[in-house]
Structure 1
Amino acid sequence: MQSSVSLTISGLWIERGERDLCKDFSFSAQSGEVVRILGENGAGKSSLLKVIVGVISPLEGKIVYSGEDVTLDRNPLQRDAIYIGHSVGVKNLLTVAENIRCYCPDVSPETLDTVLKQLDLLDHIDALVRTLSAGQLRRVALARLWLTEKTLWLLDEPFASLDVGAIALLEERIQLHVSSGGLVVLTTHQDLRSLSCRDVALLS
């Protein structure tokens, strides 16, 4: 993990259809922070994360990552980032283990077992994910956060469908990540119990 990273968004203008989601939006964040993007449903929170990671393009604005302008080329940011969208993004015809190995092909069997045990998924390691509950599917997707070495985490509603125990576990994992120099930008409607974060309002 890098010793220090930063993210600066300035003058961002995002449009969906013919409606402005945000215009002239700016914020900055750095290592050791959890930034929670606030806004009403449809305000563009998910679109903002997609713009940051480069899935969609804004009409205007500048994105600087760790001092490098990545507005036109997100590759430097993408190499250092993990993005988990609101959709769990798992492959229904694969097992739990196969899904995780799609994203983390070098994970050892021992490490995989340890992570799945923490997430209460070890008993389902060979189950097709299409047979799992919504909460279990979310935990399969989030398992990547226990295995990644990426510094920048972009998480869209990561607590959705999780029970109280899984929420606490994820809050602990996020806090550990930022304590070791990571940066997390997330959206959530969940009332966070123990996770300290800085709120940034997304207004059109």
Structure 2
Amino acid sequence: MSNEIVAYASVLKLSRADIKTLNIKDAYALHKVVYGLFEDVRTDAEKQASAASGIVYADKGGDFNTRQILMLSNRKPHQTPQFGAVQTKSIHANFLTHERYTFDITLNPTKRDKQTGKVVAIRGREEIAAWFTARAPQSWGFAVIAEHLQVGQMSVQVFEKAGRTITHGSATLTGELVVTDRDRFIQSFIHGIGRGRAFGFGLLQIVPL
């Protein structure tokens, strides 16, 4: 069990020249670059049904010269892309057997309005913290240590896709978690959590304590 590979963690490093050549001007452009690194294993019908891509990622930014994208996937990305450099390592099952972890995650905080059925954004640091703390044990298999939870950078992601303007609220959360449901926690790590995972949200970055 401990030697079983459960996922692949990769870093895509892009130079300023790469970013310019690839014309990465918004989240949709970055989405296409990331997904272009992987073999497309879904049928058109599966894509229409929003079947999981097996890819979650997070744009970690960088400095003046480079930009780093963290990726977690169920298959390896191409190791020699035309632009940028990729480094990949295997994640083994024993990495997910610990009780406590520190975490860092950028989420698209939303909830479904019970009256209208529409998905609405959750705004405000206290509201986001309360939503995340309540949802974690119910949906994601872990409890959040409230006194260590921090809601950091908050922003709005906007891009054009197929003639439509797409808007995602964004919040980065850090803290400590305790695993309460191992199987659900493993699924949360492998598949990501929350909405907007195709556009850089939901990658649960963890370090065992």
- For the criterion TM > 0.5, the same-fold answer is no
| Bigger share in helix | 1
Instruction: Give the structure with the larger strand fraction.
Output: 2
Whose relative contact order is higher, 1 or 2, with alpha carbons under 8 Å and at least 6 apart? 1
When normalised by structure 1's length, the TM-score is: 0.28
